[in-house]
Structure 1
Amino acid sequence: MSTMLVSVAELSNIFSVLAVLICFCAMVLFILRNMVVFRLHGDEFVFGGGVHPVQPQIPQMKMMKVHIPFTFKIQESSKSSYNDLQCTLSSQVNYTLHSFWGVSIRELHLFLWRPWGAIQTAVRQKSLLSGYCQQQGITLQKGPHGDKTITMQLPSPDSLDLGTPPRLCYPLVIFLIRDDTETPHPDETVALINVVHIKDSVCTLPTSILAQYLKQANGQLSCLKPLYLANGNPLGYDDEPPSVFCEAGLNSEADKEAATPTAWGPTCTSQEQLCVVCQYFPLSRALLPCRHTCVCASCFGKLDRCPMCRSPIRSFFCIRKEDYLPVEARSSSDAKSVPLHRWLLQWNDRLTDFLGFH
């Protein structure tokens, strides 16, 4: 009898240990199962209060500044019809204007991707977009000039057939082609192609420029898109980006070096816009893909979304030099170091995915 009691006592200790182990395992599984919930609601308790800066690794796009000798705009006050379309253009070089009505969309884009030599040959042979348009408009040869207004008019309004939406033809395409006797530099702009939509009874969208394409001598084709400043106004291709040096009349390198700031202070004039986050440094970075130009280099390192439209930042490029920050500050703004608490959260996510707790 005593032996049986001793055995039962020993088994009770084993049962207690097993019960503790089972409870411990159940507690661990419960914590792992709800780790995401604990993380969301326990950040303030574990990592302290306040806003934690998010520093994602956002790549920078290397952009090259290209000079465009042409400008082309549609006057908003014009009647904007096929019989009266008033355009304002300017040029810094000799050029030839070619206009075409009812241009095939597919054939136009295939033609634009041809080498510049092939396009030049078509211009000399007067076969530019031959067979790809329904009517050929005016052709003008002009020298350098300021803003000048010209009127576009469809030669035969009754013979233009653009079809039903979605249309297969552009209403109007205008080429501004540079006339040079010398061989241009490979990166030089040689043509500006403007695609214009005109309001009619079938497509009632307002008359506007649908797209503008830039052709370079090396054959590169680029689509011009505006940058949106913090005040909502677009920064077009004919607007100069903010200047690095605020003082006017800096001609020598010594003057520019003397004007370069060395302290943490804004160097913008009253015409330049300030960062929408700190309201201290001037705008210097354009965010992609939303194209909002609204932050400085100092605040960029703390963002992962655009402060204007809240869209994720995929990449960026600089519209001006960032000499208003010291070198160590510029390097720290670009260095996307991961803090300790961010590393712990990333490790937690990997562990949760590995265990299959979603």
Structure 2
Amino acid sequence: MLVAMTAMLVSVAELTNIISVVAILLCFCGMVLFIMKNMTIFWLHGEDFMFGGAVHNVQAPIPQMKMMKVHIPFTFKLQDSSRSSYQEIKCMVSSQEDYRLLAFWGVSIRELHMFLWRPWSVISSAINQGVLLMGHYQQCGFEIKDVSHRDKIITMSLPKGPREPLDLGTPPRLCYPLVIFLVREPRDALHPDETVALINVVHIKDSVCTLPTSILAQYLKQANGQLSCLKQLYLATGNPVSYDSGMEFVEGVDQLCVVCQYYPLSRALLPCRHTCICASCFNKLDTCPMCRSPIKSYFCIRNEEYLPECDRPGAPPTKPEPIAQWLQDRLTDFLGFHR
């Protein structure tokens, strides 16, 4: 009996020692975790604790610009621009409507822009009366009336004769070398949003301004008087997309987001106009991945149905996370790491 009692007491003593060791180990582990947490927090935010008054900037959501589709019945491109001169400049024109082409040489920059902002009724009346930009250009080019057609090459040249050569001045110049109007022929009913004119400003290389011959700007005039400046979008491939290319480029299988290389690109960034990321990566960026300029706004160039249901705007809340994931997140938060 005494031996059994002694053995039991020894077992209880050993069990007590084991419990003590386990308790010490648990306390040690808790202390290590506590120290690691505080060291991590101090490493991440030590400057705030030491000096205080730190300011944490909260990034405002980047606004989305609404995109309205506008049908442009005209296209205008320069051909062989490297060989273009005042004696010969070739352009390719196409139109889906009966139209009129008017060319003017040496047009006053200031007067042109002031005139383009006038109501369409005023501009149309000036065209019909033959007084378009009267007194604000140095030489008048030819006028063409034509029906709708596909791409057609038209050759222009500065009118020959005893007239004085163009005086465009020294840079920064006060006159555009060549301005070409593509104007839709009038008809009875026009929708306010319909395109009625495409104005093309062309620079021609000369001895004073040696920049290559190119289209400086293109302006779109609508029947409601709205004036828009057409801009190109820049793809990650380096090929700009002009207004006449449409949005067919987004259907290509190789046009993928430059960040994830998985989803198709679907958002154009402003003001840099780089079209290079998808909707999923957009939420993680505040600068353009191509040029590093800040993103002020954006617009979508295609639908974003490729996103998972949970990531789409306005998607219903997701199901509760599993207990294992919840415990892992709590441990991550306890250690001070970012999820």
Bin of the TM-score, shorter chain as denominator length: 0.7 to 0.9
- Structure 2 partner of 1:64: 68
- Structure 2 partner of 1:319: 301
- Return closer, same or farther for 1:29/1:281 CA change in 2, 3 Å cut-off: closer
Match of 2:94 among 90, 94, 109: 90
Q: 1:314 corresponds to which letter in structure 2?
A: K
- Structure 1 partner of 2:312: 330
Are positions 1:201 and 2:189 aligned together? Answer: no
* Residue deviations 1:112-150 (CA, integer Å, cap 9, x gap): 000000011001101011111011001000111111111
Q: 2:286 corresponds to which letter in structure 1?
A: D
- Return closer, same or farther for 1:135/1:77 CA change in 2, 3 Å cut-off: closer
- Structure 1 partner of 2:255: 273
- Separation in 1, partners of 2:277, 2:88: 42
Q: 1:33 corresponds to which letter in structure 2?
A: F
| Cα pair 1:78 1:84 within 8 Å, conserved | no
Report the identity percentage: 67
- Separation in 2, partners of 1:91, 1:225: 20
- Separation in 2, partners of 1:326, 1:237: 31
- Structure 2 partner of 1:119: 123
Alignment of 1:1-358 (within 5 A): 31-33=49-51, 56-76=60-80, 79-156=83-160, 158-242=164-248, 269-270=252-253, 273-331=255-313
| Cα pair 1:78 1:86 within 8 Å, conserved | no
Task: Using the TM superposition, name which of 137-146 and 77-86 deviates more.
Answer: 77-86
How far off is 1:322 after superposition?
A: 1.1
**Size of the alignment, in residue pairs?**
268
- Separation in 1, partners of 2:230, 2:311: 32
| SS of residue paired to 1:238 | helix
The structure having more radius of gyration, on CA atoms, is 2
Q: 1:178 corresponds to which letter in structure 2?
A: R
- Return closer, same or farther for 1:326/1:102 CA change in 2, 3 Å cut-off: same
Q: 2:51 corresponds to which letter in structure 1?
A: R
| SS of residue paired to 1:159 | coil
- Separation in 1, partners of 2:137, 2:176: 9
- Return closer, same or farther for 1:139/1:32 CA change in 2, 3 Å cut-off: same
- Separation in 1, partners of 2:100, 2:198: 11
How far off is 1:326 after superposition?
A: 4.1
| SS of residue paired to 2:66 | coil
- Separation in 2, partners of 1:283, 1:29: 39
For structure 2, the 5+ residue unaligned runs are 1-45, 316-339
| Cα pair 2:249 2:255 within 8 Å, conserved | no
How far off is 1:301 after superposition?
A: 0.6
Q: 2:196 corresponds to which letter in structure 1?
A: V
- Separation in 2, partners of 1:176, 1:35: 61
Q: 1:301 corresponds to which letter in structure 2?
A: N
- Return closer, same or farther for 1:171/1:243 CA change in 2, 3 Å cut-off: closer
- Structure 2 partner of 1:248: none
Q: TM-score, length-normalised on structure 1?
A: 0.70
- Return closer, same or farther for 1:131/1:228 CA change in 2, 3 Å cut-off: same
- Separation in 1, partners of 2:47, 2:237: 52
| Cα pair 1:84 1:153 within 8 Å, conserved | yes
- Return closer, same or farther for 1:328/1:180 CA change in 2, 3 Å cut-off: farther
Q: TM-score, length-normalised on structure 2?
A: 0.74
- Return closer, same or farther for 1:243/1:294 CA change in 2, 3 Å cut-off: closer
- Separation in 2, partners of 1:242, 1:193: 24
For structure 1, the 5+ residue unaligned runs are 1-27, 40-53, 245-267, 334-358
